[in-house]
Chain A
Amino acid sequence: MRIALAIAIKDIRQWTRNLPALMFGLAAPLVLTALIGLAFGGFSGGGAPELQPISVRAVNLDVGAGSPPVNLGEQLIQTLQEPGHASLVEITLAADEATARSAVDRREADAALIVPAGFSVAVMSTGDQRAEVVLYHDPGLVWRLPILTGAVQGVLDAYSGSRVAGLVTAAQMASRGASDEAIASGAESAAVQYAQTATMPLVGMKVESLSRPAAEGTAAILAEVCAGMLITFTFFTAATTAETILKEDETGTLRRLFTTPAARTTVLGGKLLSVFLVTLLQASILVIAAALLFGVRWGDPAGVFLVLLGLVIAASGMSVVLLSFARNTREAGYLIGGALSILGFAGGLFTTGFQNIPKVLDTVALFTPQGWAMRGYKLLLRGESLPALLLPAAICAAAGAVLFLAGSLVFRRRYA
């Protein structure tokens, strides 16, 4: 054990002197987390994430109706420009329909809102004429489209209500034997009155948010992003440390170690121990740094240790088995980069914080140690108790142990 420990301590010393390894293993995950944090709108001290408003070119061809005249097209556009909508929709007026549509075609705007001529007349009509506006949009809007249609539909719903009011008024007046002229005038008057309440709906909803500030929700997402980075780079550090077995083979130091009285299994054991210890050291530093720099609240220290241990065992095992397939450091480079990127994505490390991820990816993640490590960290960050963390940690450790054993056997056979 003394010999194995001496090899591991030597490797740790070399790791701490390897500036590129330190930059990659420690600085890169922290910088990436910081950049992703900025993309999400800042960390716990910052505000809620800012949504880019949808750019809309609006053209109103409506001239209004009623007496006094009311222009519902103009009212629609003004309503969308009010502060309640301004953070979601950015309205710019266009001269005509062609200009508005062309702005979308040229990707200068996300959508064009066209209010046709006679829109007000159609809304106030007592006939079965349908009143509608046209929304022409870029297909790239995707999930932001419902935000825009929701905002427009909210106003249109009020207009629907005004039309219903006009129709009801007309029906009531007809049943009392009012003249056609009186009916039309009454219905129009009712519709106009109702339509004017479109900006102040009588029926609505009161939106209540969870009592914690929005920034805290963002911080929770960022903590998960940070965990994803931690897991990603822990696997990479484990692999590059395991790569030193091949490097020592190429530089002749491994052969020289085999000429000492230390048994080959002890020498290899020392190299494998160094993979575990370097990875543990790196992951621990990252956990502490994330707490200090980004205010990540990892939770119960015992849980943090448990999940970290599972991660380090999984990363060590994965690295040893990966490197056992490589004949030299050149092959190892390709293997590490390719395999860990694919497994990292499959494990959900790069998509954490994203919403509406297909469920199938959650299932795929369960087949990777990275996925279970991520699951452990998510539970940890949500404040789950120790027993809840046991399953992901145990699966990580078990997978790591099996991979470690398989890789060790290959290395033992190679150097026996």
Chain B
Amino acid sequence: MTDQDAPAIQVSELRKHFGAVRAVDGVSFTIARGQIFSLLGPNGAGKTTTISMLSGLLTPDGGDAVIAGYSVRRQPQEVKAAIGVVPQDIALYGDLSARENLLFWGRMQGLSGAELRRRVGEVLELVGLAERQNERVDRYSGGMKRRVNLGVALLHHPQILFLDEPTVGIDPQSRRSILDGIKDLNRQGTTILYTTHYMEEAQELSHRIAIMDHGKIIAEGTHDELVRIVGEQTRVTATLADASPDTLRRWQELPGVTQVRSEEDRVNLLVTDPGRVLPALFEAASGTGGRITSLSIEEPDLEMVFLHLTGRALRD
């Protein structure tokens, strides 16, 4: 295997405990060069802890990861030089301008002189803030701050980029801008490790996705591979009025219904044959004094995969 064929990131049995809590519990995955790989999971799944270990912020309790050919345990400085990290929170100096921030962070990455100034100029163009580069960052909108936050990680042309929930709390326009920017970077050859709890983002961006829950990877593959886990099932979401426990019990017993889960007046079901099951759902509801007030049928997606694997919704 040549260097070019070697994976960008190879994670083996990575572990991290905080007291009795197993934040990351034997996580392994491989990311080929030039891929976008997403870690998808609810809050507290262990995504940020995994990225923190890969970026040298936390020392693993067990396992190792090789990034750009360097071990995070034995060669953390070399790993840090090869990666760019976009943290979940906006980690910038609000009382400095975007340009001053980029100049400072560029120096931290070892850039200097004309090269530093050139890269700062390029990154300002890339994140669309060249015209407002001299304004203090704390006067920017949330989306603009996110863009500078991303820009900081790109200054040194990293081979590999870690993005930890970079779109949390921003407007749709800024989110779109960031997602398009990530795709552009990937097209230019940057390998990307992306964590999110937004299924749509993982689906749109990723070549491969690992679903995490309780510190473990519970499924991994391409979007299509993951969706096939739930087989030929369809998700049906029904809103019930006057529902009783009997309604849900009757639905669970219907042939073709594989899972029933209720949230207040909404019920999520996985069904194998919607054409046959839907009339039976109405019949069972009315037979137990309930009334279906709305119904939606969705093609299988990652949310359904998570529901299928854990019995919980991704946003829980």
Contact = CB atoms under 8 A, between A and B. Distances in A.
Q: Tell whether A pairs with B.
A: yes
A197 interface: no
Nearest to A267: B108
Contacts of A175: none
Interface stretch (A11-19, A79-87, A207-215, A224-232): A11-19
B95 A255 contact: no
B85 interface: yes
A259 B90 CA distance: 14
Given A252-B89, A256-B85, A263-B77, A17 B95 contact: yes
Nearest to A262: B108
Given A253-B91, A253-B93, A259-B56, 15 more contacts: A3-B108, A6-B108, A10-B93, A13-B100, A17-B95, A251-B91, A252-B89, A253-B92, A255-B91, A256-B105, A257-B108, A259-B85, A261-B81, A261-B109, A262-B108
A258 interface: yes
B55 A259 contact: yes
B80 interface: yes
Interface of B: 55-57, 77, 80-81, 83, 85, 87, 89-93, 95-96, 100, 104-105, 107-110, 112, 152
Contact of A258 (B57, B100, B109): B57
A257 B92 CA distance: 10
Contacts of B95: 14, 17-18
A14 B89 contact: no
A255 B152 CA distance: 14
Interface in A1-53: 2-3, 6, 10, 13-14, 17-18
28 contacts: A2-B107, A3-B108, A6-B104, A6-B108, A13-B96, A14-B95, A17-B95, A251-B91, A253-B92, A253-B93, A255-B57, A255-B87, A255-B91, A256-B85, A256-B105, A257-B108, A258-B56, A258-B57, A259-B55, A259-B56, A259-B57, A259-B80, A259-B83, A261-B77, A261-B80, A261-B81, A261-B109, A262-B108
Contact of B109 (A2, A17, A260): A260
A252 B88 CA distance: 9
B91 A252 contact: yes
Contacts of A251: 89, 91
Contact of B110 (A13, A252, A256, A261): A261
Main secondary structure of the interface of A (DSSP, over half): helix
Contacts of A17: 95
A415 B108 CA distance: 18
Contacts of A257: 108
B96 A10 contact: yes
Nearest to A263: B77
Contact of B96 (A14, A259, A262, A263): A14
Nearest to A15: B95
Size range of the chain A interface in the assembly: 20 to 34
Most chain-A CB neighbours within 10 Å: which of B85, B91, B108? B108
Contacts of B83: 259
Contacts of A262: 108
B149 to A, nearest CB: 9
A7 to B, nearest CB: 8
B79 to A, nearest CB: 9
Contacts of B93: 10, 14, 253
A263 B81 CA distance: 11
B288 to A, nearest CB: 52
Contacts of A256: 85, 87, 91, 105, 152
B141 to A, nearest CB: 18
A262 B81 CA distance: 9
B91 A260 contact: no
Most chain-A CB neighbours within 10 Å: which of B57, B77, B87, B107? B107
Contacts of B112: 2
A2 B112 CA distance: 10
Which 3 residue pairs are nearest across A and B when measured between Cβ atoms?
A252-B91, A256-B91, A260-B108
Interface string A191-210: 00000000000000000000
B262 to A, nearest CB: 39
B306 to A, nearest CB: 28
Interface string A297-331: 00000000000000000000000000000000000
Contacts of A2: 107, 112
B56 to A, nearest CB: 6
B155 to A, nearest CB: 10
Contacts of B85: 256, 259
Contacts of B152: 256
Contacts of A3: 107-108
A253 B85 CA distance: 12
A255 to B, nearest CB: 6
Contacts of B77: 261, 263
A260 B87 CA distance: 12
Most chain-B CB neighbours within 10 Å: which of A2, A252, A259, A263? A259
B248 to A, nearest CB: 44
Contacts of B107: 2-3, 6
Contacts of B57: 255, 258-259
